[in-house]
Structure 1
Amino acid sequence: MTLPNPFGAKDTFETGSGPAVIYRLSRLEEEGLGTISRLPYSIRVLLESVLRQVDGFRVTEEDVATLAGYDAKNVPAREVPYLPARVVLQDFTGVPAVVDLAAMRSAMQRYGGDPTRINPHIPADLVIDHSVQVDAFGSAYALFFNAEREYERNRERYTLLRWAQTAFDNFRVVPPATGIIHQVNLEYLAKVVHLVEVNGERVAFPDSLVGTDSHTTMINGLGVLGWGVGGIEAEANMLGQPIYMLIPEVVGFKLYGELPEGATATDLVLTITQMLRQKGVVGKFVEFYGPGVSKLSLADRATIANMAPEYGATMGFFPVDEETLRYLIGTGRSEELVDLVERYTKEQGLFRTDDAPEPVYTDTLELDMGTVQPSVAGPKRPQDRILLKDIKRSFWLDMKKTFGREVDTTGIDPEVIEALETGKELPTSTERTSLYKNHEVEFSIDDVDAHITHGSTVIAAITSCTNTSNPSVMIGAGLLAKKAVERGLTVKPHVKTSLAPGSRVVSKYLEESGLLPFLEALRFHIVGYGCTTCIGNSGPLPEAIANAITENDLVVSAVLSGNRNFEGRINPYVRANYLASPPLVIAFALAGTVDIDFEHEPIGHDPNGQPVYLRDIWPTQEEIRSYIRRALKPEMYREEYANVFEGDEHWKALEIPKGKIYEWDPNSTYIQEPPFFMDFPLDVPDLTPIRGARVLALLGDTITTDHISPAGPILVNSPAGQYLLSKGVQPKDFNTYGARRGNHEVMMRGTFANVRLRNKLVPGKEGGWTVYFPTGEEMWIYDAAMRYKQDGTPLLVIAGKEYGTGSSRDWAAKGTYLLGIKAVIAESFERIHRSNLVGMGVLPLQFKEGENAESLGLTGREVYDILGIDNDLQPRQTLTVQATDSESGETKTFEVIVRLDTPVEVEYYRNGGILHTVLRNMLRESRN
């Protein structure tokens, strides 16, 4: 079989190891299909993928022509197929993906098909990084203890993954305690350019991927096209199905200048996040350009690219350039690979230089990096940036505005209160002015006297992929720790500290630099190699602290170097959560509070009682660069990744189940065969209107996937907790929702069970509560859903703007489906969650512009009919909704837009979901 040659674009070029096939984009310009040389670089990479994979069926020459003629100022509402080179998964989202594939094999066997046809068609790598929890901290023993507990809790899941590694082709697993998926991807898995034998010919093409973590975008900093998708879409990709995506608009973000002294890459990304959120880039590509790009290290670029979900974009792309090549060399990649990357990208017009003509973008904005100031973001959204100098005032105002607290200010200087309220500058002081001293609670931790009040920082975590991949901020944190220790400062006893490096290389260079002992002196010991606090695995607070918070109803804080701080995510006891750079995490641990003006108040006092200010211990950029030059070496990366797939003794000792069909254990509380493919009709059922539906939840704006499918601990009194108790699982062994994603019984009970969810059907209550309308009882959402299911009543969710923001949790859609929810009506949807709903056969519907539940007078207590759903359903069709008051009989009628954006998505919905579509097609092919 010969390779396709659409538009005569197939050609050869010389690599260091001989000739290879290249699909020349310039050929398309010669053919008059478009001005390829002025396309955004990200569109060029996407175009190459479409061009190279033309087969006349999944990908056509018309797809190529459409994308080649891309007009950034007038992007057509057309879809293109995207078939990436590979897929990456982490274990929270990867385990349910493996469970689904195993369930599809079981279904194939039941229906007489060939189970081994269910197999990844493209390479897939799963990195186990989301399961380690910060149980122990503040000692050298923490790393060992947390690793032991991780295996105790997750043995069943890890056994499944070891089975998958042997049962499936094209499937590799990076064992626990290696690093975070995005950092392992950046430092090792990514090739930037592939050279692969296809039908007897060597073909070169750009690296590209999708990942089951929304922060897959971090790899865009390396010039690799990729973004986060739901586990459902990733599974379909693995099974050879393209992702059909609307051709994106591309917003160009021009950078110039360079970061000033005192500012970090974290401050830069928080500034960019705020700017892009205000601009509005949901569903768009963002591409960075301008002379400032050349001033950014690859690690800085990766930090910015990582937070694309936080600024709302599909991805934030940095094209390949000289810095990309330097990074590949610095991380120990082979000379052959670096040479291939340089030759191919220059040959293909994918190599960025400062003097090249600027691409034409849909829209642009720009930033002088010299204006960036030290910042944090919070208290509950990553786009809510606060200048560091304003944190004291911001928390004061949030106490009233966000947390609804009136504070006793008896004895507090009225001038200070006035300054906080009006924005005036606070006076310089050698003492810290506590605004909440009348609310202080004293207690003892391990025989050490401690006290906390509103604003006290009880968690300080250097965590997550955002920052731990960046040596500048990690070395910066180590240097700040060194200077603090040398001045005699200590971390407050009520602060739970943790350091979770993104890879073992970070530990190497912190040791090599001599800075690790200073971090440990401040109790920032390594607690594990994984995401930890950023995904809700902060672990329990010391009992004395938890009791002090709950008994006195305190609003305490967490400061973390992650990318997510949604309410209820970090720790159930902590309401105010702030994102910050690693050096600032340490600064807040030293201060012990966010109630501090770092410019005018000391961070602490030395042993002689002299005040020490943050500026006194902040490292300079030259100090940081000097340490990086001495400590960071390419051989560190080669050594750490030499045996990356082997794992430690715990991993090697796991017993691997035999056979190509997974043996489901009905007694397992971690892994169960999901019901998605049980009683599976081979013929596609007709589409019909949704009639007599009830509202399960009436929700507001910015409902995150954390609200829908929460991470973090499982509470004893919750439906999931009660289920586990009924199975003989003790509360100490509950583990987290994320760890039990392979068991639908736990996860459907955890859907909409977040402790901070506010369902307007039960005003004044927080948590997973609703009303069961036939009796008027208030009950858990899960319990009500099961009652409605018995009644045969279809369910709806009604919500506001930005429904489904946050992590790409497929269980937010799977749980919605299993609760019997047939449609979600919202003002707007986050990209990944909308596609996940479609992937599970749940209909996403959007209010018309300017309308919402409030403007239409909807209370959520009506009975709903959604009319116009039939076999002729079209993308973005308008449907009519009738909402009838069950008491008065009054009916309100309004229209909604079907958010099935492409014909393929309509087909998925008709089949009941994307995996159902794939399975039906494979069964038909097997029978033919």
Structure 2
Amino acid sequence: MKWQNTLENQGLTYCDLHQVTAEFGADLATLPYSIRVLLESVARNRDEEITDDIIRTLAHWQAQAPVGVVPFKPARVVLQDFTGVPAVVDLAAMRDATVKLGGDAQAINPEIPVTLVVDHSVQVDYAGSPQALAFNTKREFERNHERYQFLKWAQQSFKDFEVVPPETGIIHQVNIEKLSDVILKKEVKGEVQVFPDTLQGTDSHTTMINGLGVLGWGVGGIEAEAAILGEASYFPMPEVIGVEFTGALPKGTTATDLALAVTELLRKENVVGKFVEYFGTGYQKLSLADRATIANMAPEYGATCGFCPIDEETLNYLRITGRSPELIQLVADYTKTNGLFYDPNTIPTYTKVIQLDLNTIQPSLAGPKRPQDRITLANVAEDFTNSVTAPVGPKGFGLPVAELTKTAPLHWPEDTTPKASPETMKTGDLVLAAITSCTNTSNPFVMISAGLLAKKAVEKGLQVPPYVKTSLSPGSRIVTTYLEDSGLLPYLEQLGFYNVGYGCTTCIGNSGPLSDTVSEAIESENLLVSSVLSGNRNFEGRIHPLIKANYLASPPLVVAYALAGTVTKDLTQEPLGTDAQGKPVYLADLQPSVEEVQKVIDQYVGPEAYQETYAHIFDANKRWNEIETSADDCFAWDESSTYIANPPFFTELTKDLPKPEPLRNLTVLAKLADSVTTDHISPAGNIAIDSPAGRFLKERQVAPKDFNSYGSRRGNHDIMMRGTFANIRLQNQLVPGSSGGVTKYQPTGETISIFDAAMQYQNDGTGTIVLAGKDYGMGSSRDWAAKGTQLLGVKVVLAESFERIHRSNLAMMGIIPLQYLPGENAETLGLTGEEYFDVALPENPEVGQLVTVTATKDGQSQTFQTRLRFDAPADIRYWRHQGILPMVIRKKFN
């Protein structure tokens, strides 16, 4: 290793950033901390592809106009089970393909450590009861036995591959509380190297780890697979936006309120695809849990990451969470020696600095459809009322004024208690209140605040209306531990917030069914009802198909709204309910003070609890340990399985490069508007009975009650192809007024499912194209949004702009991302979606070049220029190989 130095008195070698920058005449102190971490990575991994020129460019990072690309090799990869299962399925399929071409199955193995955390499977089938956890867990293992068996095989067959079993916690919370050591050790050629922990994860909220000063972000499963197999991830040299925090959070506010304010602010600043880095006097006053909350929300404000430099608070958090004194000392020594420890007296050079005074933060929610649409608590009721009649869009439902007074009857079973259940529900009533998502459950301050608020509410005799489904999904077992030890859990339970399972649950769309009484009431009048959850996503159709208005809030506000039973109350002015004497009880009467919360934290949140909780992280689950499977090199596929199937990506794979096909007469499969998310493209929630995927399962004798979710069936391409563009809220402009995965089949003009149309186009030998608006693919980093698009036969996606992860995933699947030139889009060009498209892609395309597109309709043609969104030379290589996975296999033979 060039630029090697030895850590004083420890016999450990490291890549010396002072030497690197000195050799190239650069100034380390001017570089943002996140860029320093990137520089260390590329310098340490210097090889034939990572040249001195690349390292020089990064050392001389240009704040105002960054140039070049970064070949990033993360130190490790984390997978959650929804996205991790298909990634492992692909690795298993690659072993089969390698063997078929005459190679060795063991050639396909992780090159770096990989950890998969089973956290997305549990669904809230049962809630509001002491039996909820046991019931949901039992159902989880019943539903997912095939998936879990496959993962056990992978755990035993692949090297450097670990699985954190179900009932442990959410990937990002487990990652920050246990998996990351911040600074890693590795033996290389007889010497022990130390270097920063860096990672990529198959979930967009991998960014949470940046709260710990660890650089990482979410990627599609395809890109993660490439990293696992030793391939560098290429991305454009990032701009770095510095966010300077001043002041301090006022009493009565939480990290959730700050995260929502940051999300609103940075969305307006358009930080999509950029690094964000926090600093300032206010930054140093934030706890690490608060920083993690903000870092977690990076996908919501659009940034690649929200980096929090390592400082004394980082070391303090490592102590609190039970890391060893030796590790803590290593983190301190290495980062201080190598220029990675935060220096408040020297501000790096940033592309732009945005200031935020923490004193201005107010209690807030976000909604009703997007996390960046922040509403101060005092304005929620008015904002909801306005949204009912506002035009259809992110802030409107487009309904008549009469909707505001609409009611629906509640027909409770005779044995329902309490007897005084309301007989009607009205517009805006809350039917779901969920304390969920690692965004907030990783933060003891907000969780204990929720517990203390619940305690005061119970002591005053308040109750949650029976039409509200309440649930508590701890992000890890440590949350249960400190809520139990502090005596606060029983108060949450008395309000219905029983533990329903350790997983993402409501935040990922696994909210489970509402009661029959509530569902029937909503459907009888098509009632506009609401939910409040402590999650990070509230996109339309994500939380529950019957709930159109969804709001993000801190855990204590989730409890408060559950008590209120509606979002039409102003909780700053109106009572949540009445006490035993009939006196009104206000939110202000229940809110705990900072001192009360901190007292509980100081007493019950400490290293002993964390050490005990995580002592047997990989082997504590008895059900998991009892699963039987083989450890053969190649997986024994079960052709009858509707969960795990050998994907067709390598059916026609050859050792030689295929010849590109001309892009002529492409037909529009879907014409979409702005802000189409990966939820729209590849939903993770329930599988509708009458959908193509539902019909496929029924044909295989799977009962609707056993359909499970799209997310849980991501290991089966037949399901996922049929689920592509199948979201019930998708609006395809080829079929005006439609909602759901339908399109117009151009040859006949009939309206059919997108899947059926795609299959007919493939049978006809017709390639297809998708037209889209701004921010196409925003949201979770779902690999199937790209995989499914490829398997449907889509050759090109033409959009006004792309979210970073999805653009990368499209390129990695060999799909061509094209972008309209500034000021142009389908409307300005007069494109209806009924045209046929020719794309004049050169035989040897270049990064970011202009590409001519010709659209023809009724014999009339128009030609316009687009920008090729191949952002790095690697994208071109993926396209030539028809995807990154075939490329990796071919490299094994060269």
TM range, smaller chain: over 0.9
Q: Structure 1 runs of 4+ off > 3 angstroms?
A: none
- Which of 868, 877, 888 aligns to 1:918? It is 888
- The match for 1:793 among 741, 744, 766 is 766
Give, in whole Å, the separation in 2 of the partners of 1:574 and 1:328. 40
Q: Deviations over 1:482-535 (max 9, x none)?
A: 011111100110001000011000000001111000000001000000000000
1:324 equivalent in alignment to 2:325: no
Q: Distance in 2 between matches of 1:124 and 1:833?
A: 22
- Structure 1 residue 801: deviation in Å? 0.1
Asked whether 1:162 is paired with 2:152, we answer yes
Alignment-mate amino acid for residue 416 of structure 2? D
**1:193 alignment partner AA:** I
Q: Which amino acid aligns with 1:155?
A: H
Structure 1 residue 380, shift from structure 2 partner: 0.6
Q: Aligned equivalents of 1:229 and 1:33: distance in 2? A: 33
| Residue in 2 that maps onto 1:95 | 85
Determine whether 1:392 maps to 2:384.
no
- Counterpart pick for 2:445 among 425, 450, 472: 472
Alpha-carbon separation, structure 2, partners of 1:561 and 1:154: 26
1:855 and 1:774 map into 2 onto residues whose CA distance is 26
Q: Which residue matches 2:39?
A: 47
1:513 is matched with which residue?
486
* CA deviation profile, 1:132-154 (whole Å, cap 9, x unmatched): 00001011100000000000000
| Alpha carbons 1:174, 1:647 under 8 Å: kept | no
Say if 2:75 is the partner of 1:79.
Answer: no
1:870 to partner: Cα distance: 3.2
User: Would the aligned equivalents of 1:686 and 1:870 in 2 still touch at CA under 8 Å?
Assistant: no
Aligned residue in 1 for 2:402: 408
1:642 has 2:615 as partner: yes
* Aligned residue among 220, 240, 248 for 1:258: 248
Rounded to whole Å, the distance in 1 between the matches of 2:25 and 2:203 is 35
**1:153-552 mapped onto 2 (5 Å cutoff):** 153-354=143-344, 356-401=345-390, 402-408=396-402, 436=405, 438-444=406-412, 447-448=416-417, 449-450=421-422, 451-552=424-525
Aligned-partner residue type, residue 852 of structure 2: T
Among candidates 657, 662, 673, match of residue 646 of structure 2: 673
Report if the CA contact (8 A) 2:408-2:525 is conserved: no
Q: Deviations over 1:4-37 (max 9, x none)?
A: 21xxx2111125xx31102111113332431111
Cα distance per residue 1:516-561 (max 9 Å; x no partner): 0000000100000000000000001111111111110111111100
Aligned equivalents of 1:690 and 1:906: distance in 2? 16
Deviation track 1:572-631 (CA, whole Å, cap 9, x = no partner) reads 000001000000000110011111111221111112211111111111111111111111
- Using the size of structure 2 for normalisation, the TM-score is 0.98
CA distance in 1: counterparts of 2:667 and 2:723, whole angstroms: 20
Q: Deviations over 1:26-50 (max 9, x none)?
A: 1133324311112100000110011
Letter in 1 for 2:681: I
Matches within 5 A, 1:104-123: 104-123=94-113
Counterpart contact for 2:410–2:517, Cα < 8 Å: no
- How far apart, in 1, do the equivalents of 2:498 and 2:296 lie? 25
- Counterpart pick for 2:528 among 537, 555, 572: 555
> 2:7 aligned with 1:28, yes or no?
no
CA deviations on 1:80-129 (whole Å, 9 max, x unpaired) are 21111100000000000000000000001111101101000000000000
Do the aligned partners of 2:20 and 2:43 also contact (CA within 8 Å) in 1? no
Pairing of 1:872-911 with structure 2 (within 5 A) = 872-885=844-857, 888-911=858-881
- Residue 58 of structure 1: how far off its partner (Å): 2.8
Mapped to 2, the partners of 1:711 and 1:29 lie a distance apart of: 45
- Matches for 1:617-636 after TM superposition, within 5 Å: 617-636=590-609
Q: How far is 1:254 from its partner?
A: 0.2
Distance 2:38 2:24 in 1: 19
Distance 1:773 1:343 in 2: 65
Q: Which amino acid aligns with 1:374?
A: P
Describe the SS at the equivalent of 1:476. helix
Q: In the alignment, what sits opposite 1:775? A: 748
Residue equivalent to 2:393: none
1:468-867 equivalences in 2 (<5 Å):
468-867=441-840
For the residues of structure 1 that align with 2:44 and 2:848, how far apart are their CA atoms?
A: 30
Residue 688 of structure 1: CA displacement?
Answer: 4.0
State the SS of the aligned residue for 1:444.
coil
Amino acid across the alignment from 1:141: Q
Contact 1:689 1:870 in 2 (8 A): no
What is the alpha-carbon distance in structure 1 between the residues aligned to residue 479 and residue 688 of structure 2?
Answer: 34
Aligned-residue CA RMSD (Å): 1.0
Within 1, Cα distance between the matches of 2:265 and 2:664? 43
* Distance across 2 between alignment mates of 1:760 and 1:32: 53
Deviations 1:733-785 (A, max 9, x none): 00000000000000000000000000001111100010101111101110111
Indicate conservation of the 8 Å contact 1:92/1:741, yes or no.
yes
- Give the corresponding residue for 1:13: 7
- 8 A contact 2:684–2:709 mirrored in 1: yes
Counterparts of 1:860 and 1:892, CA distance in 2: 13
Q: What TM-score do you get using the length of structure 1 for normalisation?
A: 0.94
Answer whether contact 1:176 1:647 (CA < 8 A) is retained.
no
The CA deviation string for residues 783-817 of structure 1, in whole angstroms up to 9 with x for no partner, is 11111111111011100000000000000000000
2:181, 2:808 → 1: CA distance?
28
Alignment-mate amino acid for residue 94 of structure 2: M
In 2, Cα distance between equivalents of 1:810 and 1:593: 37
Please, which of 140, 144, 158 is the counterpart of residue 134 of structure 2?
144
| Amino acid in structure 2 at the alignment position of 1:11 | N
Structure 2 CA distance for aligned equivalents of residues 843 and 819 of structure 1 = 14
Q: Distance in 2 between matches of 1:442 and 1:30?
A: 73
Instruction: Select between 718-727 and 22-31 the one with higher mean Cα deviation.
Output: 22-31
- Alignment check: 8 A CA contact 1:58 1:242 kept: no
Cα distance in 2 for residues equivalent to 1:111 and 1:474: 54
Q: How many Å separate the matches in 2 of 1:493 and 1:837?
A: 45
- Preserved contact between residue 797 and residue 825 of structure 1 (Cα < 8 Å): yes
Distance 1:168 1:464 in 2: 30
* Residue 64 in structure 1 maps to residue 58 in structure 2: no
* Preserved CA contact (<8 Å) 1:194 1:206: yes
- Deviations along 1:203-245, one digit per CA (max 9) or x if unpaired, are 1111110000000000000000100011000000000001011
Deviation at 1:683, TM superposition (A): 1.7
Structure 2 portions without partners, runs of 5+: 391-395
What is the alpha-carbon distance in structure 2 between the residues aligned to residue 253 and residue 441 of structure 1? 50
